[in-house]
Amino acid sequence: IDALPVTPRDNLISAIYYFRLSCACFHFWGEEHRPFLSTTPPPPPEPGRVAAIISARAEGADSAFELVDRWAIAIEPQVRARAAVSEVATLPVRIRELRSEIESAGLGEDNRALRIVRRDLDLAFRARLHDITGDILADDPRPLTQILDDVAHAARSLREEMLALMHESIT
């Protein structure tokens, strides 16, 4: 769509330009389809799927860069929504509670112990949160506010369980 006087086959700069744009297109497809909350990554696109989307998006675009730029703008709400879900899907145990428990167990200022217990708690929390909420796909029909409320409620409901796991992990 750019109608450049050179082809990627004949010009290294244009080859790099289009390679980077095609990588961006695959990234944007992934961002469009990546679940808001899941334990597994989305499957790769079917062969030819991204090319078909690019062809459809090329209508009305004056350049390949404009196509990619418009796509980036189009997926921004999903990127922000995923970030919002990630913010409410946080471990319901404060770091100061964890640090206090580690100090009470006589591990003092051991940052290594803090990191290990925090990581283990976070992994257990994410697995339990997923057990409660299930996969939340990018095309979930619920309004974002309801998704955020549901995830926040599920996260809060796991607080006592995570505190018990924290005590068990440290002692």
For residue 64, tell me if it sits in a domain.
yes
- My answer on whether 51 and 29 are in the same domain is yes
32 contacts 78 by C-beta, under 8 angstroms: yes
Task: Count how many domains the chain has.
Answer: 2
What does each of the 171 residues of the chain score in pLDDT, given as a tens digit? 777 778 888 889 989 999 999 999 999 999 999 999 998 888 889 999 999 999 999 888 899 999 999 999 999 999 999 999 999 999 999 989 988 888 887 776 768 888 888 999 999 999 999 999 999 999 999 999 999 999 999 999 999 999 999 989 887
For residue 5, tell me if it sits in a domain.
no
- My answer on whether 117 and 138 are in the same domain is yes
For residue 2, tell me if it sits in a domain.
no
pTM for the predicted model, two decimal places? 0.80
CB-CB neighbours of 93 under 10 Å: 20
97 contacts 35 by C-beta, under 8 angstroms: no
For residue 36, tell me if it sits in a domain.
yes
Whole domain around residue 26: which residue ranges?
12-86
Q: What does the pLDDT read at residue 108? A: 67
For residue 38, tell me if it sits in a domain.
yes
Q: What does the pLDDT read at residue 152? A: 97
Could you give the C-alpha distances from 105 to 100, 108, 114, 117, in angstroms and in order? 9, 8, 12, 13
Query: CA-based angle 165:81:121, to the nearest 5?
Result: 10
